Amino acid sequence: MEKDAKIYIAGHRGMVGSAIHRKLIKEGYTNFVTRTSDTIDLRNQQQVTDFFKEEKPDYVFLAAAKVGGIVANNTYRAEFLYDNLQIQNNVIHNSYLNGVKKLMFLGSSCIYPKMAPQPLKEEYLLTGLLEPTNEPYAIAKIAGIKMCDAYRAQYGCNYISVMPTNLYGYNDNYHPQNSHVLPALIRRFHEAKEQGLPQVAIWGSGSPKREFLFADDLAEACYYLMQNYNEEGLVNIGTGEDLSIKDLALLVKAVVGYSGDINFDTTKPDGTPRKLMDVSKLHAQGWKHTIELPEGIKLAYHDFLTKHTLVKP
């Protein structure tokens, strides 16, 4: 990407988009076009059409999406499918119509079949049934991958797709119902510590294993691939390492400094037993993560403390 190129980051205020924005600024890019959701509704075809005609960006990072944890995914099934399809349809199609040089579509590790072999290789896409709780979101993201490939095949568009593992970091969502597991644990342990609660309840058995990548590491990978990767299909972005939810909870508990007990509520669902990314394709491209989980959780917790109203007893 040329240093003076006009770059559109869809979702620039979210955790992923803001991390990409920080990375590009660090690399010397200054010509950004950004819009907040109160000035453009990416679900609205006419608004997106007008925006692209007016701004004519050279490069697009499509990091805007309706996202959430297991509860949100299972509760707002129609919105997760409709909103995400609309966003990516409008942005990808208008990128083609307005001559965008390159587009990066960001998906999610939930695109893979629930019972796919571990670790998850890129070629496992569409080889089995999806996890029921987040199937609508996964289907939308799969459609985005295939749309990028279709525009590449039919029109020669240089559109690439990347699938991050579970993310956390600066500007994360700490909503009590709609957040992902790691930020949810940070908030729960923090509030329990502030309120002097004797125990913290956590959904499920604690046995499922998950992989976590700091969002600024993801941004590093996205920048690297935007410079060096130009193929169809998708690239997994992760650490290639995972741990159980129980071990994650103990790690967060230690970082937060909570001294009470943990109660695993086995009446609640566990979700997918394991989701570990095979990142050999990414490593072969020449990129590897640098921020390990204990350090990353400390950074995320500090960010939480500086940006969120602390709950007092």
Residue 22 counted as an annotated binding residue: no
Residue 206 counted as an annotated binding residue: no
Residue 141 counted as an annotated binding residue: yes
Residues forming beta bridges with residue 60, ordered by sequence position: 8, 103
Q: Which residues contact 128 (CB under 8 A, 6 or more apart)?
A: 113, 114, 115, 116
Question: Distance between terminal CA atoms of the chain?
Answer: 51
DSSP for 96-111 reads HHTT-SEEEEE--GGG
* Residue 206 CB neighbours (<10 A): 18
Residue 11 counted as an annotated binding residue: yes
The one catalytic residue in 59, 137, 151, 159 is 137
Q: Which runs of consecutive H residues, i.e. helices, occur in the chain?
A: 15-26, 45-55, 70-75, 77-97, 135-155, 181-195, 215-228, 245-256, 280-285, 293-307
Residue 188 counted as an annotated binding residue: yes
Residue 180 counted as an annotated binding residue: yes
Residue 263 counted as an annotated binding residue: no
Based on DSSP, count helices (H) and strands (E) in the chain, helices before strands.
10, 13
Which residue reads 């939308």 in tokens? 140
Residue 152 counted as an annotated binding residue: no
Residue 274 counted as an annotated binding residue: no
Annotation marks residue 112 as catalytic: no
Residue 28 counted as an annotated binding residue: no
DSSP state of 238: S
Residue 13 counted as an annotated binding residue: yes
Residue 108 counted as an annotated binding residue: yes
Q: Rg (Cα) of the chain, in Å, rounded?
A: 19
Residue 15 counted as an annotated binding residue: yes
DSSP state of 265: E
Coil, strand, or helix at residue 258? coil
Q: How far is residue 91's CA from residue 95's CA, in Å, rounded to a whole number?
A: 6
Residue 1 counted as an annotated binding residue: no
Burial of 244 by CB count in 10 Å (0-12 exposed, 13-18 middle, 19+ buried)?
Answer: middle
Residue 98 counted as an annotated binding residue: no
Residues contributing to the annotated binding site for NADP(+): 11-17, 106-109, 141, 164-167, 180
Residues contributing to the annotated binding site for substrate: 188, 203, 210, 270
**Residues with catalytic roles:** 137
Residues contributing to the annotated binding site: 11-17, 106-109, 141, 164-167, 180, 188, 203, 210, 270
